[in-house]
Amino acid sequence: MNNLREVWSKRFVFYINELQKYLKFIVSGHLAIVIVFAIGALGYTYSEWLNSAPKDFPAYLVVALILSILVTLSTPVTLLKNADSVYFLPLETKLGEYIRLALRWTYFSSIFVTLAAFVVAIPLLTRVAGSTKEEIIALLIFLLIFKYWSIHTEFNFRWASNGRGVWGDRFLRFLLILVSLYFLLNGSYLFMILVVIVQFVYTMAWVKKKKEVPFPFEHFIVVEQSRMMRFYRFANYFTDVPHIRGMTKRRKWLDAFYKLAGYGQRNTQLYLVMRTFIRTNDFFYLWLRLTGLAMIGAIFIPFPIVSIIFAAALAFATVIQIKHALLSGHEFRMDLLFPIEKDARKHAVARMIRFLQLIQAVAVLIGVLIQGDYASVMFLIPVAVLGISEVTLRMTKI
């Protein structure tokens, strides 16, 4: 196949189909409910905060900081495969066409997150910082330009350096974008132009240097594999993904929890479930992340009703995903050879989840205490975590 445009087209169709195949499980009913509640809670909190935001709040700096992070993260999507380091060699002189299509898709697929953050920042800029319509439009235009610059600069840097020192490049690009956006929002256009010139010189230096080295197929293949593996691991929280196997870790410091199962035949499945949860990275870190978010919400969301809804939504997501993860496996296990009750594993998973959600409720309670608002309604947040967890555990069937 001599036409690299055709190669890209076929791989792109396969890539989109692969995304759709797993996204339908990710954006399913229960996750959609959690997303709606989370967005609603955060939106309400943000709206209420804007009404009472202090006039000296550093809106320009905060907006520039958040947007700079999103613009800086510009990992190229190349869709390269292992065999390309061999089969693409005769076509290396024509690789530019393939790369242009890859970077074009990288731009359009990643710009939406930046634009979403920009839209959210508009009320902050207009109501707190007093930005005009023209300044908002100028910010949008430069965001689009900076994102294009960031993607191409990271790609050229990776090519020229064979992927070494990527985080140093990202940090430098982050600083340049941060300073540029801050000067733009502040109206210091002369200083912004000077920084933009530095950005242009920086990019051209790597463009020139990449011409001196061959295309690093191995590096970009590893980058692509790592990118897809992150997606597959995330999708594996919602459905079985045959492309991956869950990674495990000893976690010796949690061995004391196994004693809670007790020694005896009736606790066999509980012991196995505890080991599965604690030692499987996907399950353990999923619960840890959701519990951390619930605790952070209890600390920083000042409105009790919103905080209750937010914590309840995360408790719902935690229970349904952990329950699915621990019960959906169809592989053969040695414990199936032993005379254990048919529903022993289901009961063990239920006990395990109740224990986990009790810890989550305690974490949320600690968050409430850290916030310092000891109104009685605030203590309904950990109660909501326990209540929603129990209802979800009883109502969901797997």
Structural domain includes residue 240: no
Same domain as 176, residue 135: yes
Is the residue at 53 inside a domain? yes
Same domain, 201 and 313: no
The DSSP 8-state label assigned to residue 340 in this structure reads: -
63 and 28 co-located in one domain: yes
CB atoms within 10 A of CB 268: 18
Number of compact structural domains in the chain: 2
Are residue 114 and residue 179 in the same domain, yes or no? yes
Beta carbons within 8 Å of 352's beta carbon, 6+ residues apart: 270, 273, 274, 277, 326
Q: What tens-digit pLDDT sequence spans the chain (398 residues)? A: 457 888 899 999 999 999 888 888 777 656 666 677 778 777 888 888 888 888 888 989 999 999 999 999 989 999 999 888 888 877 777 788 899 999 999 999 999 999 999 999 999 999 888 888 999 999 999 999 999 999 999 999 999 999 899 999 999 999 999 999 999 999 899 999 999 999 999 999 999 999 889 899 999 999 998 898 888 877 776 666 776 665 677 788 877 887 777 776 667 788 888 888 888 877 888 899 889 988 988 888 877 888 888 889 889 989 988 888 788 655 555 556 566 676 778 888 888 999 999 999 999 999 988 887 777 788 889 999 999 999 998 887 76
Q: Which of 205, 234, 263 is the last residue of a domain?
A: 234
The answer to whether residue 241 sits within a structural domain is no
- Judge if 308 and 274 occupy the same domain: yes
DSSP states of 260-271: GG-SSGGGHHHH
CB atoms within 10 A of CB 245: 9
Q: Which pLDDT score is estimated for 269?
A: 82
Residues 291 and 380 in one domain: yes
Q: Does residue 246 lie in a domain region?
A: no
Residues 135 and 77 in one domain: yes
The DSSP letter of residue 54 is -
Could you tell me if 202 and 286 lie in one domain?
no
Same domain for 315 and 196? Answer: no
Is the residue at 199 inside a domain?
A: yes
For residue 354, give Cα distances in angstroms to 86, 276, 282, 348, 391: 53, 16, 19, 10, 11
What are the beta bridge partners of residue 248?
280
Same domain flag for 282 and 211? no
What is the residue range of 374's domain?
252-330+338-395
Same domain flag for 191 and 281: no
Task: Assess whether 177 and 259 both reside in one domain.
Answer: no
Long-range contacts (CB closer than 8 Å, 24 or more residues apart) made by 371-375: 371/298, 371/299, 371/300, 371/302, 373/302, 373/304, 375/304
Asked if the structure places residue 244 within a domain, the reply is no
